[in-house]
Copies of this chain bind each other. A is one copy, B any other.
Amino acid sequence: MSEERPTLRTTARSLPIALLRARETVMGPIREMLAKSGISEQKWRVLRVLDEVGPVEQTAIADAACLLLPSLTRILSAMEKDGYLVRRTDDTDRRKSIVELTEAGRALIARHAEESNAIMTRLERRFGEGKVTKLLDLLDELRASGSER
C-alpha cells in the first residue's frame, strides 16, 4: 500500500505524551496523600517551591511551579486566607509582592514530608534508584536546553 502522508512517531516515543504518562503513573499515590488534606497538586507545588527558595516574588513561583500568574494569584489568595502564607510589598520595588510561608504553611509541609518521601523511596526501590537519578538528570538537562537559544 502506498502511504503518502507523513507518519508521526508512536505515542510511546512522543516526548510530551511519554512525560505525561510517566507523570500520571507517579502521581497516583501522591494524589491520594494530598486528597486527605484537601490540597490540590498546584498548591502542593507552590508550598514546595516556597519551602525550597524562601521568600520570593510571584513571577518566580509561577515559573518554578508551572502556573500562569492569574492562576497563581487566585491560589495564593486562597492559601493566604487559609493562613499558610503571607504576601508583603517588596521594599525596593513596590510593584513586587514577596510571598513567604507562615509557620502553619511549614507545618503543613512537615505533616506530608514523611509520607511523600516514603512514596518516592518505594518508587526508587521498585524502579531502581540509579534509573531515577539518571531520569532526573536528563529531565534537568532537557529543561535547561529549553532556555537556550
Chain A positions near chain B (C-beta within 8 angstroms): 5-28, 30, 41, 45, 48-49, 51-52, 64, 66, 106, 109-110, 113-114, 116-117, 120, 123, 126-127, 131-132, 134-136, 138-143, 145-146, 148-149
| Binding site secondary structure of chain A | helix
* 15 A–B pairs (Cβ distance < 8 Å), ordered by A: A8-B113, A10-B52, A11-B64, A12-B140, A13-B136, A14-B48, A15-B120, A15-B132, A16-B27, A16-B41, A20-B66, A21-B66, A21-B143, A134-B134, A135-B142
Given contacts A11-B49, A14-B48, A136-B13, contact A148 B126 (CB under 8 A): yes
Nearest residue (CB) in B for A15 is B26
Assembled-state Cα–Cα distance A13/B52 (Å): 12
Q: How many copies does the complex hold?
A: 2
* Contact (Cβ within 8 A) B138 A25: no
* Contact (Cβ within 8 A) A117 B8: yes
- For A10, list chain B residues within 8 Å (CB): 52
* Contact (Cβ within 8 A) B139 A22: yes
* Contact (Cβ within 8 A) A117 B23: no
Q: Contacts A20-B66, A25-B142 known; list 13 others, CB within 8 Å.
A: A8-B113, A9-B117, A14-B48, A14-B120, A15-B26, A16-B30, A21-B143, A26-B146, A28-B146, A126-B145, A135-B139, A135-B142, A138-B138
